[in-house]
Amino acid sequence: MRARRFLVSGRVQGVGFRYFVFREAQRLGLWGFVRNLGDGRVEVVAAGCEADLNRLEALLWRGPVMANVTMVEAEESEPPPNQGFVILSSRRS
């Protein structure tokens, strides 16, 4: 089991990006969270097997139809509590 924190930049707020991540993470069996940041990025913290985290990263680059992803930064992270995958309230940066 691994965990990663992703910071996604571009046109990723107001286009259904969090709901896209929520659906895909659940489909992959990951747990963690997604939320908007005050600086316009989206933060994703996900835990699961390495292969599924790699699949999620590839999906983050694609995003939903209206998104325009310009950067996905990834770093190892502490695993979040295993309470499924959730959408959190926005966080001010």
Q: What is the pLDDT of residue 93?
A: 55
Distance CA 72, CA 28 (A): 19
pLDDT at position 60 over 80: yes
What domains lie within the chain, and their CATH numbers?
2-79 (3.30.70.100)
Burial zone of 45 (CB within 10 Å; 0-12 exposed, 13-18 middle, 19+ buried): buried
Instruction: Report the pLDDT averaged over residues 61-80.
Output: 96
Annotated active-site residue 36? The verdict is yes
**Given the residues 4, 5, 11, 18, the one annotated as active site:** 18
CA-CA distance, 71 to 75, in Å (whole number)? Answer: 13
62 is catalytic: no
pLDDT in tens, 1-56: 899 999 999 999 999 999 999 999 999 999 999 999 999 999 999 999 999 999 99
DSSP-assigned letter for residue 7: E
Among residues 5, 23, 36, 92, the one annotated as catalytic is 36
pLDDT band at 82; cut points 50, 70, 90: confident
pLDDT of 20 = 98
